[in-house]
Structure 1
Amino acid sequence: MADELELLRRADPVPADRPPFGDGPLDQRAERHLDRLLHRRPPVSRGRPGTRRPRLPHGPAHGHRARLAWALVAATVVTTITLTLVVSSPGTPPAVAAPRPLVVRADSTPVPLDVLAARADAAAADGLPRLTRGTHVQSWSLGMSEDEPPITLPEERVVRWHADASHTELVVATDPRHPGRPVLSDAGEVPHLVEDGHVISRQTYPPSWSDAPPESPPPRDVTRLRAYLREAASLRTRPSTPELLDAVGVLLDHWTLGARESATLARLLADTPGLRPAGQVTDRLGRRGQAYVYEGAGFRRLLIMDPATGAVLGLEATVTKAEPEFGVEAGDVESYSAWMR
């Protein structure tokens, strides 16, 4: 066993930002979980409404087969992720289940939203870049269940519209934090490892000319944009701050904003209660941004904006109160989206 571990250590060393794994051999429980993960395909289990959390395997342990599988997987470097999924007991989150919340630099100076909105207005003077229909977004979402640990599923989605009003959507499994490594996916309802860049779906949709939000272009007036977001999120009343941030996510999942649209959105956000400037942060794509925080009951929203143009770079939702029934601890990231041009 020591030989396989040394082979794995040389091929794929532990990242500096992760805790080191033990050097000892797998214990009986770890072998049992590894065997279940590698050799069983159980039915799906669902947790909260609106969330999908596949059931992890259950079954008898076979020590010799598990050891042989371990050696084969180590040689292909897949064991790095597999081990982190099986060393935890069923009642605790896997070691890599949820990314930790982004950390705001303590020595940075927070930029008030009205100042950022003024910068966005200045950056939009030439009208470039322009509004584009479609999106390019990297997301991480936490799947939860009452009887299994939560898992984080990273996906990248690219939506492009064509001149005839048809559009294509490409979804791949990838995690830019760990380029080239296998990625956990639940495509097909059962969690399993796939290669980085694995195509989950590729679809082409027929022409659509809907004039209702979020299919219609967003306006460049703050009052009209607020009404647009309310309709896009199907809200009957003026949205609360969390609802407004959710609606911003809906907008950015349909449109890549131009400079003028980003400036309008920045002005709207500057008038939104409860958004506190926090300071500088580096997002999960390595981009520097200004962070704005909204604290709610049991959750935290982190809005990340470009410090020069006011464009929204990302949104993070973090659990601040443990939910033991779902295996979620305070500080787990429930969802994260990073938008790109």
Structure 2
Amino acid sequence: MNDELDLLRAANPVRADAGPWRDRPLDTHAERGLNRLLHSKRTRRARRRLVLRAEAAVLALVAVLAFAFSGAGASPAAAAPAALVLRTNTPSVTLNELARRAEARAKGAGAHTGPRRGSHLQSWYMTMEAGPDAAPPVTVPEERITRWRADGSGSELVVATDPRHPGRPVIHDADGRWRTVNDGKILHRKNYPAGSGAQHGGLASRTKPPTDPEALREHLTTLYGGADAKTPQLLLALSTLRQEWTPGPREAAAIVRMLADMGGLHPAGTVTDRLGRRGQAYVYDGPDGSMDATRQMVIFDPATGQLLGSEITFTKDLPDFKIKSGEVLSYEAWMR
């Protein structure tokens, strides 16, 4: 029962200190938490009875993001960022080869290079409306830094910023109404005293990720849901893990080996990510549910096997959402 309560608390779309509940979009943490619930084994039977079936994690994400925001039509709008450009004229690195490189690096890693709870994330998430009078999609860029120390103290910081356009105003959601804020504006800041780490977050955020690939997959299956099904769900579960933990060399090697053994991803070329880093891209473009409308891409450092980022793009037009093929649903860039 404790595990279920942890999942429910993690998925709660309104923080305990947010005041009376009212209609508004879920934040990123709540979106991921709801996605875990939709794809957990415990809710699978009940989910089959829903009219809107979450046949894949990507479809659940689209459904969660599809809100009708009051007043959004008269507020500032921003086009989604262009998808990253793949360079296919460079030598391909298979996931097996990348796993071997990461495993060799992990063998020489010291004890102090283990995983660190917390993360540093630059993200772009698209929000959408449906219907003939829907406003155009809006992409919200944010930077999030979460840190936890050995004594259980920690901090959270969320900043409105877009490294593609330094110094320019950034679109931000203010309780369902879009507005622009200055680049670098602090949206959320909180400090936690010593001893808070054991009480903060769900069970998943307090449990170190394993360094064995099979154990890691079971870890994702048990604590994040959906990872025992298909590649799309596994990638979203991995994204949620990465929001809560920064892997060390051994965890990075386990991630790459797990994906190599899973199958479904193929080398797609090299890219320069939105933070200017060169990476090796791997793509899943198989079925993602009844709509079959997205492509998922993950980007790794070709030398170390560290996960640098992930991108989900649309592969077909979705007129109800004013979405065109090739637009970006979400992008995450991970930093140390």
Give TM-score scaled by structure 1 length.
0.72
Contact 1:134 1:160 in 2 (8 A): yes
Change (3 A) 1:340 1:57: closer
1:145 to 113, 129, 138: 129
Q: Which has the higher contact order (CA 8 A, sep 6+)?
A: 2
Cα deviation per residue 1:235-292 (whole Å; 9 max; x = unaligned)?
4x72310000001101100011001110111110111221011111111110000000
Cα deviation per residue 1:180-220 (whole Å; 9 max; x = unaligned)?
11111113331111111101111235614279324200011
CA distance in 2, matches of 1:323, 1:46: 21
Contact 1:45 1:54 in 2 (8 A): yes
CA distance in 1, matches of 2:306, 2:69: 35
SS at match of 1:253: helix
Change (3 A) 1:252 1:53: farther
1:308 to 294, 303, 308: 303
Contact 1:300 1:319 in 2 (8 A): yes
Residue 231 of structure 1 corresponds to 222
Change (3 A) 1:58 1:281: closer
CA distance in 1, matches of 2:97, 2:331: 25
Structure 2 residue 198 is the aligned partner of structure 1 residue 209? yes
Residue 100 of structure 1 corresponds to 82
SS at match of 1:271: helix
Residue 192 of structure 1 corresponds to 179
Contact 1:123 1:308 in 2 (8 A): no
Q: CA deviation at 1:124?
A: 1.6
Residue 332 of structure 1 corresponds to 327
Residue 75 of structure 1 corresponds to none
Where does the alignment leave 5 or more consecutive residues of structure 1 unmatched? Answer: 1-42, 60-81, 86-93
Change (3 A) 1:161 1:58: closer
Give TM-score scaled by structure 2 length.
0.73
Residue 265 of structure 2 corresponds to 275
Change (3 A) 1:163 1:130: closer
Residue 29 of structure 1 corresponds to none
Tell me the amino acid that sits aligned with residue 333 of structure 2: A
Tell me the amino acid that sits aligned with residue 306 of structure 2: A
Q: What is the RMSD of the two structures over their aligned residues, measured on CA atoms?
A: 2.4
SS at match of 2:174: coil
Contact 1:137 1:339 in 2 (8 A): yes
Change (3 A) 1:127 1:190: same
Q: CA deviation at 1:123?
A: 1.6
Contact 1:156 1:174 in 2 (8 A): yes
CA distance in 2, matches of 1:189, 1:321: 27
CA distance in 2, matches of 1:275, 1:57: 37
Tell me the amino acid that sits aligned with residue 227 of structure 1: E
CA distance in 1, matches of 2:296, 2:139: 18
CA distance in 1, matches of 2:183, 2:221: 37
Residue 99 of structure 2 corresponds to 117
Tell me the amino acid that sits aligned with residue 105 of structure 1: R
Q: CA deviation at 1:154?
A: 0.2
Q: CA deviation at 1:58?
A: 6.3
Residue 76 of structure 1 corresponds to none
Change (3 A) 1:267 1:194: same
Tell me the amino acid that sits aligned with residue 214 of structure 2: T
Residue 69 of structure 2 corresponds to 54
Contact 1:142 1:334 in 2 (8 A): yes
Contact 1:306 1:312 in 2 (8 A): yes
Structure 2 residue 145 is the aligned partner of structure 1 residue 131? no
Residue 64 of structure 1 corresponds to none
CA distance in 2, matches of 1:49, 1:135: 26
2:145 to 126, 136, 158: 158
CA distance in 2, matches of 1:58, 1:148: 5
SS at match of 2:135: coil
2:234 to 237, 244, 249: 244
2:255 to 255, 262, 265: 265
CA distance in 1, matches of 2:266, 2:118: 30
CA distance in 1, matches of 2:137, 2:214: 40
CA distance in 2, matches of 1:53, 1:115: 45
SS at match of 2:238: helix
CA distance in 1, matches of 2:253, 2:73: 52
SS at match of 1:193: strand
Identity %: 46
Contact 2:73 2:135 in 1 (8 A): no
CA distance in 2, matches of 1:228, 1:214: 12
Residue 59 of structure 2 corresponds to none
Q: CA deviation at 1:142?
A: 0.3
Contact 1:214 1:232 in 2 (8 A): no
Q: CA deviation at 1:311?
A: 0.7
Contact 1:187 1:200 in 2 (8 A): no
Larger Rg: 1
1:318 to 293, 299, 313: 313
